[in-house]
Amino acid sequence: MSSSQHFIRGYFNRFPDFHYDQSKETMGQFRRLASQEDWSPKKRRKEKRALQTALVLQFNDTYGENEAEIANWQGLCRAMRIDPIPETVAECKKLFRRTHVNIVDLVDTRGTGRRVPTYPTVDLLADYTKETGKFFPREHAKAGGLLKYLLREILASGTGGRH
C-alpha cells in the first residue's frame, strides 16, 4: 500500500490503541480492528460505512474525479497495467465498461507494484467480492466520475451493494 493512503490511515488513526499496518489489506485491518474493539453488529456497520467513505475519498484523491480528464483515465490505466493505454476519454470509458475490478483491491495495490486482479465477468467479480467482503456502497455521495464507471451490481437482494 502506498504511503499516500492518507484517508485510509486517517480512518484507522481514530483508534489510538490499534496498530494499523498499511502493508496489509484494508479490509483485513478493519476486521482485526473490529475484533480488537469488540464492536456490536450496529457499531461494525457504522464503522464500515466510515471506512468505505475513506476508501472512496482515497480513490478520488489517487485517480481523480473528473471523467472528462484524459490524464485521470490514463493514470487509472497505468495503475491497472493496461497496455496499450487508450488515447481518448471515449475509448477509456468503453474499456472500463467491460473491465471488472474490485475497487478495494485497486486502492490497496496502488503504489505497491502488485497487479490488481481483474475478472472476465461481473459474476466472477461478485463471487470474489462476496467471499472477501470487499464492498463499496451501492451509492456514495462522494463517488467521483471515474469510480462510478468501475462500480458493478454485486448483490441482487434488498441489502444490495456495489464494490
Q: How many CB atoms lie within 10 A of CB 110?
A: 18
Q: What confidence category does residue 161 fall into, taking pLDDT thresholds of 50, 70 and 90?
A: very low
Separation CA 133–CA 163 (nearest Å)? 9
What is the torsion angle, in degrees rounded to the nearest 10, for the CA atoms of residue 151, residue 137, residue 50 and residue 66? 30
List, in sequence order, every residue forming a beta bridge with 100; answer none if it has no partner: 119
Query: Tens of pLDDT along 47-106?
Result: 999 999 999 999 999 999 999 999 999 999 999 999 999 999 999 999 998 899 999 999
Q: Is residue 162 part of a domain?
A: no
In-domain check, residue 156: no
Domain for residue 1, yes or no? no
Q: Report whether the peptide linkage leading into residue 117 is cis, meaning its omega lies within 30 degrees of zero.
A: no
**Number of independent structural domains in the chain:** 1
Residue 114 falls inside a structural domain: yes
- pTM for the model stands at 0.84
Is 157 a member of any domain? no
- Structural domain including 137 reads 6-150
Confidence of residue 154 (pLDDT cuts 50, 70, 90): confident
Residue 115 belongs to a domain: yes
Q: Does residue 86 lie in a domain region? A: yes
Is residue 158, in this structure, part of any structural domain at all?
A: no
